Amino acid sequence: MNAVESIVSAYRVKCGFRYDREVAQSLGMTQAALSNYTKGKTRLPHIAIAKVSERTGIPAVGVMAAVNVTYAGTPEEEKAYWQEKLALLKETVVS
């Protein structure tokens, strides 16, 4: 499970959704678009990042880090930055 899938899974649980269709609708997108985001084909829109952050309690920068680490188009030097942010988030959550 990649970082975006993990965060979307947390969002699904917090919202009480059973299906991807419900998750996608709540974020204002199609199920196909949600699939592209979780597979790293495209970046999650800022509004969806904000909604996921608010509902899960995960800081927006953590959601952004997950998106940018997963997104195939993120340049490697940027991925390194976002991987550091994601690691810090994981330390905070585990502590």
pLDDT at position 91 is 79
pLDDT at 67 over 80: yes
How many CB atoms are closer than 10 A to CB 72?
9
Residue 93's pLDDT band (cuts 50, 70, 90):
low
Determine the residue type at 48: A
pLDDT digits (tens, 9 = 90+) for 2-22: 999 999 999 999 999 999 999
Q: Please state the pTM of the whole predicted model.
A: 0.86
Q: Tell me 45's DSSP state.
A: P
Calculate the CA dihedral of residues 64, 85, 75, 48 and round it to 10 degrees: 0
pLDDT at position 58 is 92
pLDDT at position 94 is 57
User: For residue 67, which of 89, 45, 92 has the smallest C-alpha distance?
Assistant: 45
pLDDT digits (tens, 9 = 90+) for 20-56: 999 999 999 999 999 999 999 999 999 999 999 999 9
